[in-house]
Amino acid sequence: MSMDVLNRLFEAHFHSPAQQAQPVQGELGGSGRKIIRLSNERATAIGVLYGVREENRAFLEFSKHFRRHGLPVPEIYGEDLDHGAYVEEDLGDTTLFQFLAKNRHGEQIAAPVVEAYRKVVAMLPRFQVEAGCDLDYSACYPIGSFDRQSVAWDLNYFKYYFLRLAGVPFNEHALENDFSRLTDFLMEADRDYFMYRDFQSRNIMLRDGQPFFVDYQGGRKGALQYDIASLLFDAKADLPPELRQELLNHYLDALGRYVKTDREAFLRYYYAYVYVRLMQAMGAYGFRGFYERKTHFLQSVPYAMKNLRWLLHHAELPIALPALMSAFRDLLASPKLQGVANEATEAEKLAIRIFSFSFHREMPKDETGHGGGFIFDGRSLPNPGREERFKALTGKDAPVMEYLDQQESVHQFLAGVMSLVDGSVASYRKRGFKNLMVSFGCTGGQHRSVFLAEQLARHFRAMNGVEVAVRHIELEKMGK
């Protein structure tokens, strides 16, 4: 029924029916929305199915308001709040986070990425000040302002779903006193602006080099500091401190064009909001990862810990929070969280699955759901199976390996294979992909394909950041 509603909305806008409906995987999140790309030969759009009416209404109202201000957000093509459905402009598949991941080498971030970030931070004041001044805040969900209750939610989220579930000790009474002092301090900042609430790199799309903004349905009235803190201390984006400072200065320059800005007053509260945003994010990682057992959320924990370590060394707050700072230090020293960090690092490795098989029998099946990869045909190479002395042996036995190792054509073949696969491995790792499948086939699946698979596995086992698994389909049937 819900898909029927999306199809109806698509056809009403484009005056022709959708011919394809493809779920959009995106990055693994926790919102519960179903996002579907609808298309035909002439048009494409994004359909969204979600059962929380008030949250849908907030997104739709904010989208229309922002577009009236000329801000780059998706156009709403059609909506049906009674059925929890709406259709919006298709902004493509490239998030700012993906663009960053593809164009960095450790701390070295490519100039086009830095330029994209500069465009993003320069656009933020237009949301906060220009569009925020006449926004209907009655549409906000679940609350109209980032008030004491909102701060309490975030701090308790961190306390109960991160500290407690991670086994980090704390004195609850002393910690609550620090939370109260921190909240009093945060409430001193000017909070009369639109607060995007989840202003981070996965909620910014890039199309033709220009940023477009999504997922602001949790927005409310609040302080300017929160959103820029969210972007610059976005955990897995892992921006270098020097770039964070450069972008903060660029943001403040842009902000000054929309509202009189006292930089000293802004910075007095800035790092307190960084801490609150970091705690909110860690609470989310704990809830999704420790409580709901969605372990991919724990991959962000090491980056959050890195940010926390930097803050403790470089960002002194104007108020004393001894119990909270003690909990932070215990958190950084926690053996359990160090184990989570190590497991997350392992989980981020690229899994290279290498197969040998017979073209006359069973080809390998992709069990990850990704498809793709490489299939190489080794039948052009000299065949040990034609010689009696090798018939009972396999490509893992020394006589067969020595025979094939003496063939120049085998070396040329492997050089070509390694060149192709090395390029994909480098690209997959940069883009954060998790699986690559490489298969070698020959006539019987016993000699050449086995040898080639073993040689490629040996090549990649010497590389950091990858995990290699090898299966020989025909040898498994033979019990070898």
pLDDT (mean) for 15-36:
78
Q: Which of 318-327, 388-397, 409-418 has the highest mean pLDDT?
A: 318-327
Does residue 41 sit in helix, strand or coil? Answer: coil
Rounded CA separation 50/303 (Å)? 31
111 vs 433 pLDDT, higher one: 111
pLDDT level of residue 393 (50, 70, 90 thresholds): very high
pLDDT (mean) for 353-372:
82
Q: Please list the helix, strand and coil fractions of the chain in percent, rounded to the nearest 5, in that order.
A: 55, 15, 30
Residue 292 to residues 19, 22, 297, 298: CA-CA distances in angstroms? 36, 27, 10, 11
346 vs 368 pLDDT, higher one: 368
pLDDT at 430 over 80: no
- The closest alpha carbon to 417, from 394, 467, 451, 368, belongs to 451
| The two three-digit tokens of residue 364, written as one number | 């390998």
pLDDT at 43 over 90: yes
pLDDT level of residue 309 (50, 70, 90 thresholds): very high
Rounded CA separation 405/382 (Å)? 11
Q: Check residue 348 and give its pLDDT.
A: 64
pLDDT at 454 over 50: yes
Q: Check residue 320 and give its pLDDT.
A: 97
Q: Check residue 168 and give its pLDDT.
A: 95
Token pair 């006292």 in the structure block, residue: 262
pTM over 0.85: no
| Residues contacting 209, CB < 8 A, separation 6+ | 112, 116
pLDDT at 13 over 60: yes
Tens digits of residue pLDDT in 202-214: 999 999 999 999 9
Q: Where are the domains of the chain?
A: 2-89, 96-346, 349-478
Among 7-11, 159-163, 332-336, which stretch is predicted with the lowest mean pLDDT? 332-336
Which region, left, alpha or beta, applies to residue 377 given φ > 0 means left and ψ of -120 to 50 means alpha?
Answer: beta
Q: What is the DSSP code (8-state) at residue 107?
A: T
Does residue 238 sit in helix, strand or coil? Answer: coil
Give the number of C-alpha atoms closer than 13 A to the C-alpha of residue 448, restricted to the C-beta side. 25
pLDDT at 27 over 50: no
Rounded CA separation 74/450 (Å)? 51
CB 443 within 8 A of CB 450: no
pLDDT at 98 over 70: yes
Token pair 């109260």 in the structure block, residue: 180
pLDDT level of residue 23 (50, 70, 90 thresholds): confident
| The two three-digit tokens of residue 428, written as one number | 């997959």
pLDDT (mean) for 426-438:
82
Among 5-14, 174-183, 407-416, which stretch is predicted with the lowest mean pLDDT? 407-416
**Of all residues in the chain, what percent carry a pLDDT higher than 90?**
77
Among 7-21, 364-378, 445-459, which stretch is predicted with the lowest mean pLDDT? 364-378
Rounded CA separation 163/283 (Å)? 8
pLDDT level of residue 30 (50, 70, 90 thresholds): low
431 vs 44 pLDDT, higher one: 44
1 vs 302 pLDDT, higher one: 302
Q: Check residue 440 and give its pLDDT.
A: 96
Q: Check residue 467 and give its pLDDT.
A: 83
What mean pLDDT, rounded, does the chain reach? 92
pLDDT at 345 over 80: no
Token pair 């898909």 in the structure block, residue: 3
CATH number for domain 96-346, candidates 3.30.200.20, 3.90.1200.10, 3.90.1150.10, 3.90.960.10: 3.90.1200.10
Query: Could you give the dihedral angle defined by the CA atoms of residues 85, 91, 92 and 93, in that order, rounded to the nearest 10 degrees?
Result: -80
Amino acid at 314: H
Bridge pairing between strands 20-23 and 34-39? antiparallel
Q: Check residue 480 and give its pLDDT.
A: 67
Does residue 108 sit in helix, strand or coil? Answer: strand
Q: What is the DSSP code (8-state) at residue 162?
A: I
Rounded CA separation 211/64 (Å)? 18
Taking each helix axis as running N to C, give the angle between helix 241-255 and helix 225-232, from 0 to 180 degrees, rounded to the nearest 10: 150
Tens digits of residue pLDDT in 101-151: 888 877 889 999 999 999 999 999 999 999 999 999 999 999 999 999 999
| Residues contacting 82, CB < 8 A, separation 6+ | none
pLDDT (mean) for 216-226:
97
pLDDT at 28 over 50: no
Does CATH place domain 2-89 in 3.40.50.300?
no
Bridge pairing between strands 34-39 and 44-49? antiparallel
Give the number of C-alpha atoms closer than 13 A to the C-alpha of residue 259, restricted to the C-beta side. 21
